[in-house]
Structure 1
Amino acid sequence: MTSSPPPAEPTYADRVYRSSAGMVGGALLLALIAWIGGDALIRGEGRTPWLALAGVLLAVPVIVAFALRPAVFAGEDRLRIRNPFRTITLPWAAVAEVRAGYSSEVFTQEGAKYQLWAVPVSLRQRKRASRRQMQTAQDDPHGRTSVTADVSDSRARVAPADQTVADLRELAERNASRPGAQGEPQIRWAYEVVAPAVAGAVLLIVLLAIG
């Protein structure tokens, strides 16, 4: 009688962290560029359509890079950081520290530092979270909690960026020893963003130079 193989470990989708404000702002800017640029391309005369084309080629990739592209993907084996012009893949074993000061950052075991563009730090949100903590302490100076209190209550008293950093730090500590979490950092440039932006900048410079 043959024994059945052990069940495979379940796989879970990566946690994805983005800046909602950045995405909304980026979408609005793209709509504005489409409106203004489209009007100039259709109704413009002389060099105006070419200048509009160069401006759109330059502006759209930059807006996408800084507003829509940034994201952080946290899986069981690695952390993938999609910044404006680079994608950094860090196996959890290569992560030494994740912290949030004036910006969210991850440090590798070799001392390299990478900023998490998708997790912006808001001092206003920190002050609001601090006020909630002080209010909670005043309501219950002995630190008692009711039986209905849950994890969501404690998360509400922490700024979103700080909570995200705490989640990533926990994932790094828990998964660093996994066999699939070993390896070296990998960095890839986002040429699909850089190339059209450079093309738009060159075209704009040429048009302005020739008058």
Structure 2
Amino acid sequence: MTTPDHPSPASQPPVPAVKDRIYRSPLGLLGGVLLLAVVCWLGFDALVKGHDRTPWLALAGMILVIPLVTAFTLRPAVFVNDDRLRVRNPFRVITLPWGAVEALRSGFTNEIVAKTGTKYQLWAIPVSLRARKKAARRGQRAAADAARGVTPGGRVGALGPSGLGLGGFGLRGPETGPTRAETDRVMDDLRELLERSGQSESAQGEPSARWAYEVMAPAAAGAILLAILLATG
């Protein structure tokens, strides 16, 4: 028998599950929204104002283009928790327990290498060579400033670089921005999580992958309809 002071386990509120951390490309999202806006504007304009076969061609084009734009811009994401990561690429969804991950590599693209040897690209975490070079230059300038004794306030240390008591006013301050590109820092976080959780019992299992038929089917239907319209025109 339970009392108000000691409620039964069934009446206890469930422990909330740990939420996934989600990584996506802000530029990809912005570009996707803009592209979809343009496609919809042109497509609906052709549907309303077009003549003869134009509305049908516009409809087929929209059925083809909208899923593809969505797949490559809005859809990519990486969902991460302490047990596994789920990679949502344009046409596939890959689930990998941390125990099944061999390494995370960064080159011209960011990718996961499973222990089976299979590689999976992370579309949601694109590499920006420009951002990487900018961060490297910032790191070099920060190291040079530190060697000269430049403080974050924009002045040389109390005695100046030569110990002559110079104030150093007017000298350029050190770089205070990140010395690693944003996507490189994300990959560092994922590597740290892999190292921490890769051997845990709850993070073991086999990788799985499935095709994104919810994207491929409408795109294929639009392509077939467009091909028929062009062939019979």
TM-score normalised according to structure 1 size:
0.89
Partner of 1:49: 55
Q: Greater RCO between the two (CA within 8 Å, min separation 6)? A: 1
Alignment of 1:78-157 (within 5 A): 78-141=84-147, 156-157=178-179
Query: How far apart in 1 are the matches of 2:15 and 2:184?
Result: 30
Give the secondary structure class of the aligned counterpart of 1:45. coil
* Shift in CA distance, 178/28, structure 1 to aligned 2, threshold 3 Å: same
Query: How far apart in 1 are the matches of 2:222 and 2:74?
Result: 19
Contact 2:76/2:89 (8 A) holds in 1: yes
Where does the alignment leave 5 or more consecutive residues of structure 2 unmatched? 1-8, 153-174
Where does the alignment leave 5 or more consecutive residues of structure 1 unmatched? 147-152
Measured after TM superposition, the shift of residue 155 of structure 1 is: 7.8
TM-score normalised according to structure 2 size:
0.80
The structure with more radius of gyration: 2
Query: How far apart in 2 are the matches of 1:38 and 1:48?
Result: 11
Counterpart AA for 1:190: A
Query: How far apart in 2 are the matches of 1:178 and 1:144?
Result: 45
Q: Whose helix proportion is higher, 1 or 2?
A: 1
* Shift in CA distance, 143/55, structure 1 to aligned 2, threshold 3 Å: farther
The one-character-per-residue Cα deviations of 1:78-104 (angstroms, maximum 9, x if unpaired) are 010000000000000000000110000
Contact 2:87/2:93 (8 A) holds in 1: yes
Query: How far apart in 2 are the matches of 1:28 and 1:191?
Result: 24
Counterpart AA for 2:105: R
Partner of 1:175: 197
Identity, % of aligned positions: 56
Give the secondary structure class of the aligned counterpart of 1:156. coil
Counterpart AA for 1:194: M
Give the secondary structure class of the aligned counterpart of 1:72. strand
Give the secondary structure class of the aligned counterpart of 1:141. helix
* RMSD over aligned Cα atoms: 2.2
Count of aligned positions: 199
Do structure 1's residue 72 and structure 2's residue 78 form an aligned pair? yes
